[in-house]
Amino acid sequence: MSLPKIDVPLHTVKLEGIKKNVKYRSYTVKEEKLLLMAAESKDQKEISDTVIRLCQGCVITKIDIESLPMTDLEKLMITIRSKSVGEAAKVGLVCPHCEKKTDMSVDLENMIQVGDDTIEDKIMLNKQYGLKLKPPSLISVEENASDELNLINNSIISVIDSLFDKDNVYLFSDYSQDEKVEFVDSMSIEDAKKITEGYLEKLPRNVIKLDYECPHCNNRISRELDNLIDFFT
């Protein structure tokens, strides 16, 4: 007689980027082992692939995990992690006053999303052409991360959805990487600033706000933690 399978409880999280309530389950012991192995490898590609596969396995609602905005993927993974192994995550924080490190336990349930309400996802390059922008996904960022000397250009490429004029829409995904690079390289500095300052710098972020006293110098510290993906790798 085979061993019975234990039912795993289901949970729901709202992803603001896609404006959808997503149902998911906690990850299993086997899946946690895969995540830990990926983290130990220090290979960003392996970590990213494992995170995506884990989310694909845990999410019950039909959504395209690979195309999720990074803030949604980050929130989804942290929420799954929180329900699987607990809300607390250990983090080492360096005091800006005495520069000494303090180990703290952070409650992942305190994660909130912050952003700039003035963000615009359509930017006109001139009277004829404009760009439709979209939040970057993990896949789009990785595809454009090979050239570290052109980080700004890579960031711009990862958020362009399409180019449009009065009569046509040119989907950026229909063009090769070389064509995308050539297009961005041909943009004026002014147009690049419209994208970086008007969109990239205003994208939503998941943060955890902390207010604590440094045990070494007794100074009061208020700070925001972001790049929360580090908590589950």
- 37 and 54, same structural domain? yes
pTM: 0.85
Which residue range forms the structural domain that includes residue 68?
10-112+205-232
- 162 and 55, same structural domain? no
- 108 and 15, same structural domain? yes
pLDDT at res. 148: 53
- 209 and 103, same structural domain? yes
| Within-domain flag for 2 | no
| Within-domain flag for 117 | no
**Strand stretches in 16-72, DSSP E:** 20-25
- 84 and 148, same structural domain? no
Q: How far apart are CA 140 and CA 144, in angstroms?
A: 6
| Within-domain flag for 190 | yes
Find residue 92's DSSP bridge partners.
103
- 159 and 84, same structural domain? no
Residues whose CB falls within 8 Å of the CB of residue 141, separated by 6 or more in sequence, listed in order: 70, 154, 158
Find residue 208's DSSP bridge partners.
225
Write the DSSP symbol of residue 150: G
- 141 and 26, same structural domain? no
Find residue 22's DSSP bridge partners.
13
| Within-domain flag for 4 | no
- 80 and 132, same structural domain? no
194 contacts 123 by C-beta, under 8 angstroms: yes
| Within-domain flag for 156 | yes
Radius of gyration of the chain (CA): 21
pLDDT digits (tens, 9 = 90+) for 29-60: 999 999 889 888 888 888 889 999 999 999 99
Tokens read off for 116:
């700039």
Mean pLDDT of 152-171: 93
Q: How far apart are CA 188 and CA 68, in angstroms?
A: 30
> Alpha-carbon dihedral of residues 20, 23, 25, 31, nearest 10 degrees?
-40
- 164 and 100, same structural domain? no
Backbone φ/ψ region at 195: left (φ over 0), alpha (ψ -120 to 50), beta: alpha
pLDDT digits (tens, 9 = 90+) for 74-126: 999 999 999 998 888 888 899 999 999 999 899 989 999 998 989 999 999 99
- 209 and 108, same structural domain? yes
- The count of structural domains within the chain is 2
| Within-domain flag for 5 | no
- 209 and 193, same structural domain? no
**Could you tell me the pLDDT band of residue 226, with boundaries at 50, 70 and 90?**
confident
Tokens read off for 73:
């993927």
| Within-domain flag for 192 | yes
Q: How far apart are CA 6 and CA 136, in angstroms?
A: 37
Strand order across the 220-225 sheet: 112-114, 205-213, 220-225
Helix (H) or strand (E) holding 177: helix 177-185
| Within-domain flag for 136 | yes
Q: How far apart are CA 140 and CA 138, in angstroms?
A: 6
- 222 and 152, same structural domain? no
